[in-house]
Amino acid sequence: MITVIGWLLGLGMFALMAILVVHVLFALLLIVPSWRIFERAGFSGLLALFHLVPVVGPFIVMAVLAFSDWPKGEGRPKPAHPA
Amino acid sequence: MMGFDLAALLGLFGLTSAFALVGLVLAGWMCWRIAEKAGLPGWAGAAAILLTVTGIGSLISLILLWVFAFMRWPRDGLALAGASPAAAPGPGMAPAAPAALPLPPRVLADRRGWMLYDSRPSYTLTGEAGGGPDELVVAEPSVGRPHARLLTASGRIGLQDLGSPGGTYIDGARLLPAHGPRDITAVRTVKLGNVELALSRT
């Protein structure tokens, strides 16, 4: 019985590690371009690491880029500065 | 019992679909804004996300993300537009036009803006034309001859005061020659003497 439980635990750990590795590999595909986009926008590239957060990570990244002022300027015209 | 299981399963799918739909709309909206901030049409960003509803859409969206990250954004072109409330004729800014286009006049009497590209590393802001190829003329008595230097590199723009009595201001703060070149990429207004210029991107 203990042997079976041990096997099951080992199998579970293996599956968990496999899922983790696949998740990190897929996140890397998103982190590399996002890092560059963040730097071009004027933010720290480290913000791209939010892609490592499961499920909501990409939404956090998109929200930061979409709803904050880009320090290096934006293509959209800004409202006129009061004189 | 079978019917209950089926209903529960369908309910789960429905809930999942609802979450997926909300996520898709949210992502499309955010990508619309991101594309606009980069100077691209917003619909292009939203369309890139909506492609995920197609069979191989996720792969296409991933490729588009890489393309977006490394392509040249329209935002990278800088525009310096005159917006002078103080100077009667309004400021004039000399151009840095692409080589294929004819150079516009060096002094403008209206409030049109000039496009600045970073093909030239620096420009001299002056109140009177001296014949130099890199001069940006702001025809106003309070602007020095020369007054300041504009520096451009990799989509960024800098400003250095050259010690004119009229003074140089970045968003209201005085820039002194001792400060050296300052990055003004993210600022909104630059004041040379009595002339205020608005900095924007196209």
Give the domain ranges of chain B.
2-74, 77-201
ipTM, 2 dp: 0.83
- Give B-chain residues touching A25 at CB under 8 angstroms: none
- Distance to chain B for A54, nearest Cα, Å: 14
Domain ranges of chain A: 22-69
Nearest to B195 by CA among B85, B102, B95: B85
Confidence (pLDDT) at A30: 94
Fold of B77-201: Tumour Suppressor Smad4 (2.60.200)
Q: Strand pairing of B122-126 and B135-137?
A: parallel
Q: Residue A14 and residue A82: Cα distance in Å, rounded? A: 61
pTM: 0.54
pLDDT (mean) for B142-159: 83
The amino acid sitting at B169 is Y
pLDDT (mean) for B116-129: 74
- Distance to chain A for B42, nearest Cα, Å: 10
Q: What are B86-109's pLDDT values in tens digits?
A: 333 333 333 333 333 333 334 444
Q: Say yes or no: A54 contacts chain B, CB-CB below 8 A.
A: no
Q: What is the CA radius of gyration of chain B?
A: 25
Query: Confidence class of residue B175 from pLDDT cuts 50, 70 and 90?
Result: confident
Q: Strand pairing of B173-175 and B156-161?
A: unpaired
Q: Say yes or no: A49 contacts chain B, CB-CB below 8 A.
A: no
Query: Confidence class of residue B198 from pLDDT cuts 50, 70 and 90?
Result: confident
Q: Residue B202 and residue A75: Cα distance in Å, rounded? A: 5
Lowest-pLDDT range of B3-17, B31-45, B96-110, B112-126: B96-110
pLDDT (mean) for A74-81: 56
Nearest to B29 by CA among A59, A47, A48, A29: A59
> Is the predicted pLDDT of residue A61 greater than 90, yes or no?
yes
> Is the predicted pLDDT of residue B10 greater than 70, yes or no?
no
Query: Confidence class of residue B6 from pLDDT cuts 50, 70 and 90?
Result: low
Are B33 and A67 contacting, i.e. CB atoms less than 8 angstroms apart? Answer: yes
